Chain A
Amino acid sequence: MAIQSKFDYKTHYNTVFQRFIKENHCPLLDFRKRAFEHFEQHGFPNKRVEDWRFTSCYEIAEKPFLCPKDSTTLTKKEIEPFLFENIDTIQLVLINGHYRPELSTQIDEQNISISSISKLCEAHDTRLEKIGTLVSAEENVFAALNASFFRDGFFIEVKQNAKIDKPIHIINIDADKDENSHNAVRHFISVAKNAELKIVESYHSHNSAPDALINVACELEVADGANVEYISIQQADETHHCFTNINANVAENGQLITNLLDFGSKLVRHTQNIVLDGANAHAKSCGTYIGHQRRQIDHYLYMDHAVGECSSEQLFRGVLTDKAKAVFRGRVVVRPDSQNTDASQSSKALLLSDDAQSHNLPQLEIYADDVRCSHGATVGELDKSSLFYLQSRGISEERAKQILTVAFAEEVVDHITIEPVRQKVYALIDQNLSKDLS
């Protein structure tokens, strides 16, 4: 079930890997080796694998991706456009997957510790054992590649009862001028009991060579009563491929909101696995995407109700034009005896062109009887009666369509609680839709 391509990618990655581990002695060596073995065994899946039916890895398998060099850096001025206005954040900058302390905020706080993973490796820190506990390398081919090749990322710990007022902003910039850059980063975020954290991760390109591969793994540990909001804003270059694995474990009374916003890359695939692991845990997984040209945006979500008394929501909205394509596969699993589960799922796609495609797979897998689960999915054009309503009030058809499309795309964005970030996302939506609606 692996891709057989003309380019012998397994040998290529093997050479790269051998060189990589020679250069990077670190306590993670065993972890990387296991991950790479998994990759060698399975390779890139072809379209006969059910989970990859709609996502083609052929283009990626044909290219000799390499780890980017770490010499590139940018000036403060150059990264300015990537920052949020009107808000003070803890800035953490990664360029080509390498931490840039000179561009990042240095904090000296007792409540939170932020270290770069490469630093922890140098120090042989025991906390590194946690890496891979939530995003296992066996999960999929990109998780395996990430575990084999990631260079840096952040290990963030929030202490018990701490409320971190400033949001953390992780800025991933891909600025590699060489082709075939494989930009792999990995974070582990642990929020202790009753603590609170807001985190925004954004992806940008700065004069980078086309066709880069961005590969992100993010592990979120939400302890008892903790409250975490994770927002990802992806604006990478139109020619890039972007794969993420964002997994979370939410303990008793914990709360997690994730929001995935996609405005860039030609192929995006998010894999998210949230386990609700204690009573009264709540997770909300949101997403908004806008697809132009031949862009493809995939979401593979897994909401695992491992115990009862938990609630979850999945809310996704997408607007597709030209020949864009989207796949939404949201699966809610309610384990045996997870009684009093409340799960809902809603995925809507708006097609603005006849060549756009949407594949919707809202799935429920339920093994307990006292549950409330619902899912809804719609695909289609704008509601005719709403259009008529606006027109009957003197608004032109074109303008009415604009209003409704923007309203449709913004519905889920309202769930972002950080006001300046929300404003920025509204602006991005307007900017992305303006091409299609003018």
Chain B
Amino acid sequence: MSSNNEQLDKITNQEYKYGFESQVESDTIPPGLDENVIKEISRRKGEPEFMLKWRLNAYSKWLTMEQPSWAHLNLQPIDFQAISYFSSPKSAKEKPKNLDEVDPEILDTYKKLGIPLKEQERLQGIVAVDAVFDSVSVATTYKDKLAEVGVIFCSISEAMREYPELVEKYLGSVVPPTDNFFASMNSAVFTDGSFVYVPPGVRCPMELSTYFRINATNTGQFERTLIIADEGSYVSYLEGCTAPQRDENQLHAAVVEIIAHKDAQVKYATVQNWYPGDENGVGGIYNFVTKRGLCKGENSKISWTQVETGSAITWKYPSVILKGDNSVGTFHSVAMTNNLQQADTGTKMIHLGKNTQSTIISKGISAGKSSNAYRGLVRVAKGATNARNYSQCDSLLIGDKCGAHTFPYIDVQNTTSQVEHEATTSKIGEDQIFYCMQRGLSEEDAVSMIVNGYCKEVLQNLPMEFAVEAQNLLTLSLEGTVG
């Protein structure tokens, strides 16, 4: 089937369209990691004393840890001393007071990425954006409007200065500094990220969003996001990421913590499109992320939705700890890998409270020579009576050189719970394509339609603006991959 091979070639030759590099003068700490670097980061950010202590404590713990090797990944050793742990655009030294003062080059970068920071743009009134450029947050839109209802949405550095009591109370309460190798490292060196606090009973009037961009060379991005939804509140949050095209691997080790109090609901969506490396697997981002939500109060609800198309290596498991009775956790994921990309992703649902429920829908699509693994844990503790879990993970293989793996862990410790796991692996059926073509669709459109249908369950959980982007991303990555 030579036409298929041609089409496969076409996709491998496809360029990463966010691979440009912006000419922004940046202020970067020289590579290397020791206590002084951490003190310097803390000093530059003007952090309160407790933060420095917290960071140093995490650093000393990190020194005793070893990089884990259990993931189904082929990973080159990382030289942690060759990474620069802080980089900020020079112009951001004096924090701009409003958008007009932001470096036009940076605004331009975001414009190229399709993320309008100017408030009057087409997403007016719908989405508030926090833009993180390398290590610092450069702009947060719609702050005033959010403040009217009491929602705090700002960079985490700002939160540490303005609301230290909230940060001290919640930071590290879901992902402790000793949690794992990369979380520990993040705790020591994290530079910025977003902070959200929604007061009791408030329904956040707009979608909140962060856009992460790695620009400088040899830097790692270590951001930390903290979302707190107080009693009876609601917030929907989305996150997007891109990086320029480079030959060396860059490290991105982030931590996201979510706390949902009684009756609160948090929706967290990610469209991850870091630079995946070229067709020979050169370059790309190492995306090692710890994301965890805590359903602290009764009837709370946390949902993760992710569309993972970028990064050379993705290693992340957005999890939910269902501590409150009747709490609900959901995880919807589409992970698409191509060329030599590797993904080991999934979720953890830890049922502690009574009548807790969780749903896991994971859709993996592998093409080229990529490898895509689902790894998930469903744990039902002894006291979690009447817990209910449903997991479904499907893999779709496009081409015969790729791999799809499923590693579910199901630990059940009581009798009244019901845990179900189902998984299938398949390719797009020739009969399905034939059926579509018979009705006048081209082969490519047929594949695109089938794949989008395959992912529909997940995509429909994304906020509307992202759903369109995600669909386009998938269609783009899938062009010509008729198998």
Which stretch from A170-178, A193-201, A359-367 is at the chain B interface?
Answer: A359-367
The answer to whether B400 and A380 have CB atoms under 8 Å apart is no
The answer to whether A360 and B410 have CB atoms under 8 Å apart is yes
Which stretch from A2-10, A74-82, A286-294, A346-354 is at the chain B interface?
Answer: A346-354
Given A361-B407, A369-B400, CB of A378 within 8 Å of CB of B415: no
The answer to whether A354 and B415 have CB atoms under 8 Å apart is yes
Is the C-beta of B408 less than 8 angstroms from some C-beta in chain A?
Answer: yes
The answer to whether B422 and A376 have CB atoms under 8 Å apart is yes
- Chain A residues positioned under 8 Å from B417 (CB to CB): 379-380
The answer to whether B419 and A380 have CB atoms under 8 Å apart is yes
- Chain A residues positioned under 8 Å from B401 (CB to CB): 336, 367
The answer to whether A369 and B397 have CB atoms under 8 Å apart is yes
The answer to whether B423 and A364 have CB atoms under 8 Å apart is yes
Return the contact of B408 from the options A352, A362, A365 (Cβ within 8 A).
A362
Given A50-B70, A371-B425, A372-B426, CB of A354 within 8 Å of CB of B414: yes
- Chain A residues positioned under 8 Å from B426 (CB to CB): 371-372
- What total of chain B residues lie within 8 Å of the partner, measured CB to CB? 36
Taking the closest CB of chain A, its distance from the CB of B356, in whole angstroms, is 14
> Chain B residue with minimal CB distance to A361?
B409
- Chain A residues positioned under 8 Å from B395 (CB to CB): 364, 366
Is the C-beta of B413 less than 8 angstroms from some C-beta in chain A?
Answer: yes
The answer to whether A374 and B400 have CB atoms under 8 Å apart is no
Is the C-beta of A138 less than 8 angstroms from some C-beta in chain B?
Answer: no
- Chain B residues positioned under 8 Å from A370 (CB to CB): 400, 427
Is the C-beta of B420 less than 8 angstroms from some C-beta in chain A?
Answer: yes
The answer to whether B414 and A351 have CB atoms under 8 Å apart is yes
Give the distance in Å from the alpha carbon of A370 to the alpha carbon of B421 in the complex.
Answer: 23
The answer to whether A365 and B415 have CB atoms under 8 Å apart is no
Taking the closest CB of chain B, its distance from the CB of A328, in whole angstroms, is 9
Give the distance in Å from the alpha carbon of A364 to the alpha carbon of B399 in the complex.
Answer: 18
**Per-position contact with B for A308-341: 1 when CB-CB < 8 Å, else 0?**
0000000000000000000000000000110100
The answer to whether B414 and A367 have CB atoms under 8 Å apart is no
The answer to whether A362 and B415 have CB atoms under 8 Å apart is no
Interface residues of B in 213-252 (CB under 8 A from A): none
- Chain B residues positioned under 8 Å from A362 (CB to CB): 406, 408, 421, 423
Give the distance in Å from the alpha carbon of A367 to the alpha carbon of B369 in the complex.
Answer: 9
The answer to whether B418 and A380 have CB atoms under 8 Å apart is yes
> Chain B residue with minimal CB distance to A337?
B400
Q: Give the tally of cross-chain contacts (CB within 8 A).
A: 122
- What total of chain A residues lie within 8 Å of the partner, measured CB to CB? 36
The answer to whether B411 and A358 have CB atoms under 8 Å apart is yes
The answer to whether A373 and B424 have CB atoms under 8 Å apart is yes
The answer to whether B403 and A359 have CB atoms under 8 Å apart is no
The answer to whether B425 and A379 have CB atoms under 8 Å apart is no
Give the distance in Å from the alpha carbon of A257 to the alpha carbon of B405 in the complex.
Answer: 25
- Chain A residues positioned under 8 Å from B412 (CB to CB): 349, 351, 357-360, 379-380
The answer to whether A366 and B382 have CB atoms under 8 Å apart is no
Given A366-B397, A378-B420, CB of A359 within 8 Å of CB of B425: no
Is the C-beta of B398 less than 8 angstroms from some C-beta in chain A?
Answer: yes
Given A360-B421, A362-B423, A367-B403, CB of A377 within 8 Å of CB of B410: yes
Is the C-beta of B404 less than 8 angstroms from some C-beta in chain A?
Answer: yes
Is the C-beta of B283 less than 8 angstroms from some C-beta in chain A?
Answer: no
Return the contact of A374 from the options B402, B411, B424 (Cβ within 8 A).
B424
The answer to whether B402 and A367 have CB atoms under 8 Å apart is yes
- Chain B residues positioned under 8 Å from A373 (CB to CB): 423-425
Is the C-beta of A356 less than 8 angstroms from some C-beta in chain B?
Answer: yes
Is the C-beta of B5 less than 8 angstroms from some C-beta in chain A?
Answer: no
The answer to whether A361 and B397 have CB atoms under 8 Å apart is no
**Per-position contact with B for A366-401: 1 when CB-CB < 8 Å, else 0?**
111111111111111100000000000000000000
The answer to whether B403 and A366 have CB atoms under 8 Å apart is yes
Is the C-beta of B416 less than 8 angstroms from some C-beta in chain A?
Answer: yes
Give the distance in Å from the alpha carbon of A354 to the alpha carbon of B402 in the complex.
Answer: 42
- Chain A residues positioned under 8 Å from B404 (CB to CB): 364, 366
Give the distance in Å from the alpha carbon of A351 to the alpha carbon of B419 in the complex.
Answer: 12
Is the C-beta of B483 less than 8 angstroms from some C-beta in chain A?
Answer: yes
Is the C-beta of A411 less than 8 angstroms from some C-beta in chain B?
Answer: no
Return the contact of A352 from the options B399, B403, B411, B415 (Cβ within 8 A).
B415
- Chain A residues positioned under 8 Å from B398 (CB to CB): 369
Give the distance in Å from the alpha carbon of A266 to the alpha carbon of B417 in the complex.
Answer: 26
- Chain B residues positioned under 8 Å from A336 (CB to CB): 400-401
Is the C-beta of A414 less than 8 angstroms from some C-beta in chain B?
Answer: no
Give the distance in Å from the alpha carbon of A367 to the alpha carbon of B399 in the complex.
Answer: 10
Is the C-beta of A355 less than 8 angstroms from some C-beta in chain B?
Answer: yes
Give the distance in Å from the alpha carbon of A357 to the alpha carbon of B422 in the complex.
Answer: 20
The answer to whether B402 and A369 have CB atoms under 8 Å apart is yes
20 A-B pairs whose Cβ atoms sit less than 8 Å apart in the complex = A339-B400, A353-B415, A356-B415, A357-B413, A358-B410, A360-B411, A362-B423, A363-B406, A363-B408, A364-B405, A365-B72, A365-B403, A366-B397, A366-B425, A367-B402, A374-B425, A376-B422, A377-B410, A377-B419, A380-B415
What 9 pairs between A and B have smallest CB-CB spacing? A360-B410, A369-B397, A379-B412, A364-B406, A380-B418, A373-B425, A367-B403, A351-B415, A365-B405
List chain A positions with a Cβ less than 8 A from chain B.
50, 336-337, 339, 349, 351-381
List chain B positions with a Cβ less than 8 A from chain A.
70, 72, 382, 395, 397-427, 483
